[in-house]
Amino acid sequence: MDDPSARHRELSRLIEEANRRYYLDDNPELTDARYDELMRELIELERKHPELATPDSPSQRVGAAPSERFEPVRHHAPMLSLANVLDASEFAEWYRRVLEGLPSERLQAQPDIFQPPGKVRLAAEPKYDGLALELFYSDGVLVQASTRGDGATGEGVLANVRTIRAVPLRLRGQAPPLAVVAGEAYMRKDDFAGLNRRQEEAGGKPFANPRNAAAGSLRQLDPRVTASRPLCFFAYHLVNAEELTPPVVDQGEAFEKMAAWGLPVNRELLAVHDDPARIADFYLRMSEKRHDLPYEIDGIVVKVDRLALRDVLGAVARSPRWAVAWKFPPERAVTRLKRIKVSVGRTGVLTPVAELEPVKVGGVTVSSASLHNSDEIERLGVLAGDWVEVQRAGDVIPEVVGPLPERRDGSQRPFVMPGSCPACGEPVVRLPEEVAV
C-alpha cells in the first residue's frame, strides 16, 4: 500500500480494534509482538508524514475509551502505558537516553541526585500480568477506584474493588488528606486453576489465562460476581508522592509509605541499583524464577528511582521517559502442524487455524493456533504436515513462528483457501485491499 494516508487509516483501525478487544472486551486477539509491530510502523509513518499525527491517532492514546457501562473517572495524573525493550541492547539504549535527558540547569541545584556522578539510580520490580488500577484515599478512606481506560479517564469500579480483600478500605496510621495509589489487580496461579475448575463444573467457559480472569472479574456489573473471584492486588506507584508533607523522594520510600498504610507492596522483589548491569542481572534472575512465583509476570519494570529526576525527564504522548518495561521473550516449543482447517467467524470471515500435535509451551498445553489469513500463511511459509516452532506471544496467545524446512520429508502440502464457505456453501469473496475473506 503506497498511499501513506490509506496505510495510516488501516494501521489506526487495526490498533483501535486491538485496544478495544484488550481493554474493553478482555479478549485480546493480536499478539503483543504483532501489536508492537503495528504501533512502531504507525509511529514511523507519522514521523515521516507529521500531518498524519492527528490528536485522535492511536499513537497519542493509551488503551481504549471507557466502557459506557461504568461511570467515567478522571485520573489524578495520566496513567500512561510503558514503552517496551526486548533485550539488553535496547535496555542500554533506553538508559543512554535517560542520561542524555537529565543534564540541565534545573539539576544544578540538586547535584546529589546523581549517585555516583554520571550514573542514575534505578529501581526494578516484576511486571505483573493483570489489570492496572488507580485508587483514591481521602483522609485514609477508599473513595474511588478506576481502570486505566484511555489514560486520562478510566472506568469507575469502586464497588468491585471494595470486594478485593488485599485492598484496604481504610489506610492504617497517619494517612494524608489525599493518597493516590496505582497498582495491579491479579490472580494467583493456583486460584486461577481453581476458578477454571469451578467454571467447567458449572458448564461455563474457562478463562484463557490469569490476566483475562482478573480483568473480566473486575469489570463485572454485579459486585457479587467480583466478590466470588479470588483477586489479589499489589501497589507499585504512589501517584501523588511529591504532594505529600514531607514529599516522598524515591521508589523505596514510596514502598515503605504504602506498606505502612497497609497497602500490599512487593518489597522483597524491589531491586535498587546505581549500576544498570545489576538491573540486567535482576532481569535474568526474574526470567529464571518466574515459573516459581505464585503469580504471572511477563518481564520487569525499570524506573528512575528519584522522583525529582522523573519530573525532569517527563513523558511523551503514550509513555513516561523515566520508566520502561523489559519484557521476557516468548517461550517456544517444536511440534507438528497436522493440518490447516478453516474456521468461520460470526461475521462470515474465514480464518485458517493450525491444528497442532499438543505441546507444552510455558506450562500450558497448546493444540491449535490461528494463522489469521492466507497472506500470513504465505509469509510464514508453512505447509500442512510441517514441523513448526510455536510460542505463546505475550505468554498468552498461541502462534506459529515458522516451519522447520530441514525436517520436511515430501509429505507436506500447501494450504489452499476453499472456494466456498464450509458453513453455508456460498462462494468465498475477497474484498479489494482486504486480507480477510
Which residues have a catalytic role annotated? Answer: 127
For the four alpha carbons of 392, 398, 401 and 407, in that order, the dihedral sign comes to positive
Q: What's 182-194 look like in SS3?
A: EEEEECCHHHHHH
Residue pair 336/386 in contact by the 8 Å Cβ criterion: yes
Q: What are phi and psi of 112, to 5 degrees?
A: -70, -15
211 CB burial (10 A radius; 0-12, 13-18, 19+): buried
Residue pair 7/14 in contact by the 8 Å Cβ criterion: no
State the Cα–Cα distance between residues 190 and 195, nearest whole angstrom. Answer: 9
User: Cell numbers at residue 240, please?
Assistant: 501523588
Q: What is the dihedral of CA 418, 420, 425, 426, to 10 degrees?
A: 150
State the Cα–Cα distance between residues 22 and 235, nearest whole angstrom. Answer: 22
State the Cα–Cα distance between residues 101 and 16, nearest whole angstrom. Answer: 31
Residue 432 vs residues 1, 343, 429, 435: alpha-carbon distances, Å: 12, 21, 10, 8
β partners of residue 183: 133, 235
User: Cell numbers at residue 7, please?
Assistant: 496505510
Residue pair 10/30 in contact by the 8 Å Cβ criterion: no
Residue pair 283/124 in contact by the 8 Å Cβ criterion: yes
User: Cell numbers at residue 41, please?
Assistant: 510502523
For the four alpha carbons of 229, 169, 135 and 71, in that order, the dihedral sign comes to positive
User: Cell numbers at residue 419, please?
Assistant: 472456494
State the Cα–Cα distance between residues 9 and 389, nearest whole angstrom. Answer: 33
